[in-house]
A and B are shown apart, each in its own frame.
Chain A
Amino acid sequence: MKKIGFFQLNSCSGCMFAVLSSTIFLDLLKSADIRLFRLISDVQTEDQFDVVFIEGGVTRNEEAALLRRLWTEGAKIITLGSCAVLGGIMSHSPNMHIDPVNKFVDPYATLPGCPPPQQLLGNLLMSAIDGIEFKLPEKNVCSECPFAQDQTYDVEITSLNALHPPKSCFLSEGILCLGPITRAGCGARCIKGATPCDGCLGALDRNLPSALANLFSVLKVSDSIREYAAIAFRYQKPELKFK
């Protein structure tokens, strides 16, 4: 049985809760040796892990030290969620510093998303049990979107929010959607729920600033939106690159 640990750093517990309410959670409980998962258990073995899942960004020295220790001891580190992978929403705090996990250790696998989509999360958890390699999709959100065929870059982008379900691609309705530069895997869940993608799965080419610069160069983006472009960096600081 694989020895598994679940660690929470600076986070909202949403990713861990996604694990808990995942359809394969019962299988996981029974087919892995869960040595630390404070959300559900008092068992607290702090070492000898084969695989550890990390939720949340790093704000404290002791968290960075913990990551380094786990890594040095040979645990495969899997970052779970946009906070751990990219720094997440808290990286916009003007009062505190938050780093993604990859600043301190080299993750074996990463799964961004706020929280990660259930399908990918299920695959990732299974891969941790079975040792099968986990791969993120190498396509963008548009490839999963029902409106992809209506996509046009000709309409001026003047809004960040939808007020009703789209009849066609958000970009063709003048609403900014980050689907073209964001990694697929969520089944375009926000768009199907009448909300444009704000990029929680991270940039497909792992470099959000350059991907955004490219997107903004081909779109007609109004000045008011450009002024508020920070919104496109909801899950990471502009200077960070997605590992």
Chain B
Amino acid sequence: MKIRLSLPMTRIEGESRLIVTREKDRITNVIYNMATVRDFKGVIIGQHVKDLPKIVPRICGICPVAHRIGAIKAIETAFDIVTPPIAELLRELALLGEIIRSHTYSVFFSTLPDIMFLADQISRQDILGVDRIQPRVLPIASKLFNCADELITATAGNTNMAFNLIPGGILQNITITQQQELVQQLHAAISHIKWAKEYYSWLLSEIEGEIQKYTLPQPLFISCFDTDKNRFSGTDQVELISEDGAKKTFPCIRYPEILIEQDMLEAPTKIAYFESSNKSKHLLAGPHARLTTLQTRSTKGKKSHIGMPNLFYSGLLRLDEIEFAITNSIKLLETRWKTSDDISVALQPQTSSGASSVEAPRGTLLYRVDINNRGRIKDIDIRVPTELNAKAISLIVKKIMTICLDLGWTNEQTLERVKMAVRCFDPCVSCATQTDIRFREK
């Protein structure tokens, strides 16, 4: 007899579940399911375009800045606005703050307890368990949160609404005192992150054999990381990179043609496939994809072989990105900015469409918006990294299941490994469940 169970996921953002099939006391199937629906499309359509940046930060409490910047950039492309450089800079700094904030949660609260558990360091698999064995971790996480909040607040106004960032520019500039204080605080965080990286690497080396199972079948990497300026706030180009290093670049406004939406059975989450592939290929967005973009840039023109991504290394890549975010913020804050009085340009709403791409902490975030002649939003489409990663998540869940069954592992061990694999993607349920409610009902 088959029994289906629904188990809540833990240590990820938002409410999602593992739907588990058990036959004769053995687990035979696991599906990762995001059951909630959040109808942001319904809330947004009909609103004034100037309101869009105020609404979208509520899609996600962990990466509201990325959503706000995504919406702002889409509006700016619709109205052909070129923003003052100072606004671009503050946006990038705010996004770097958000990278620190989001990755701190993902590494210290979500994946570190897993690798410490696998390395036989802890029995209670959460931050409290970590704290009992390694008391440096929690204060470091707390300091990094604080650093991130200060950086976002100084540049974007506040951490959750980022109201200083508006279509056309910014409302007010950062002061020199704020710049100096931030630089000091960020410098103080460097030694902590270096220690965390060493510790994480050591743990990974302890479980080298075990984590080989978590290798993802070769994906198509997706990213819009601006390799010329080293910026997360992206260009208007999105890049797809395959295993042989071949690149396909397309303007983000074309993403609805390139990323084909498919209904994923039993997991009400949109997923995207690459159009030119006959056999559908899963995408991978996030730190692995950004690293791949950087690596292929250094071998311009040449095709390089891209290794299969091991999910457990994404924690280490996130720590690398935190370090990058800190050092790059210091660099940007220490630069003498040429600022004029013009920190924003006025908006003249007209019938138009715009799109944008931003590297949010979890990967590429895509916006497309249609606006009518009264400045009201006619239509909106938002693709978040977790949707782009949805098929890869389902593949790894199946792969881990098969391995565990072959090894004759207990149900408990199997589910534990599945959960660990899902967490490595740092999925965001709040983001991924904001899409069109009609799509889900279908």
Contacts and interface: CB of A to CB of B under 8 A. Distances in A.
Interface of A: 8-18, 20-21, 23, 25-26, 29, 34, 38-44, 59, 88-90, 92-96, 114-115, 160-165, 189-190, 193-195, 198, 228, 231, 234
Contacts of A25: 142
A228 B172 CA distance: 26
A228 B55 CA distance: 15
5 contacts: A11-B14, A39-B13, A163-B346, A164-B344, A234-B54
Contact of A38 (B9, B145, B171, B437): B9
Contacts of B10: 38, 41-42, 44
- Output the residue of A15, A23, A41 with the most chain B CB within 10 A: A41
B392 to A, nearest CB: 22
A114 B160 CA distance: 8
B257 to A, nearest CB: 26
B8 A161 contact: no
Contacts of A198: 54
B58 A190 contact: no
Contact of B158 (A15, A20, A38, A189): A189
Nearest to A200: B161
A169 to B, nearest CB: 16
B59 interface: yes
Interface stretch (B37-45, B192-200, B348-356): B37-45
A93 B39 contact: yes
A-side binding surface: helix, strand, loop or mixed? Answer: loop
Contacts of B61: 11-18, 115
B372 to A, nearest CB: 14
Interface in B9-38: 9-15, 36-38
Nearest 10 CB-CB pairings of A with B: A14-B61, A193-B157, A93-B39, A41-B126, A194-B171, A195-B163, A12-B61, A21-B145, A13-B61, A93-B42
A194 B126 contact: no
Contact of A17 (B105, B146, B157, B158): B105
A90 B36 CA distance: 13
Contacts of B50: 160-161
A17 B58 CA distance: 13
A152 to B, nearest CB: 22
B164 A26 contact: no
Nearest to B15: A8
Interface in B189-240: none
A68 to B, nearest CB: 18
B138 interface: yes
B58 A95 contact: no
A26 B38 contact: no
A40 B62 contact: no
Interface in B424-441: 430, 437-438
Interface in B156-185: 157-158, 160-161, 163-164, 166, 171-172
B15 A39 contact: no
B91 to A, nearest CB: 15
B127 A40 contact: yes
B149 interface: yes
Contacts of B157: 193-195
A193 B8 CA distance: 39
B-side binding surface: helix, strand, loop or mixed? Answer: mixed
Interface residues of B, number: 55
A96 B171 contact: no
A165 B173 CA distance: 10
Contact of A12 (B9, B58, B126, B149): B58
Nearest to A192: B157
A237 to B, nearest CB: 12
A34 B128 CA distance: 10
Given A59-B36, A95-B39, 16 more contacts: A9-B15, A13-B14, A14-B160, A21-B145, A21-B149, A26-B142, A29-B127, A29-B138, A39-B109, A40-B11, A41-B126, A90-B43, A93-B39, A94-B39, A96-B437, A115-B160
Contacts of B421: none
Given A17-B61, A38-B10, A193-B164, A165 B109 contact: no
Contacts of B105: 17, 20
Contacts of A89: 43, 55, 58
B125 interface: yes
A163 B344 contact: yes
Nearest to B43: A92
Contacts of A42: 10-11, 125-126
Contacts of B126: 40-43
B51 A164 contact: no
Nearest to B139: A26
A30 B298 CA distance: 48
Contacts of A9: 15
- Output the residue of A114, A193, A228 with the most chain B CB within 10 A: A193
A93 B108 CA distance: 35
Contacts of B138: 26, 29
B64 interface: yes
Nearest to A41: B126
A118 B346 CA distance: 33
B281 interface: no
B393 to A, nearest CB: 18
A163 B344 CA distance: 8
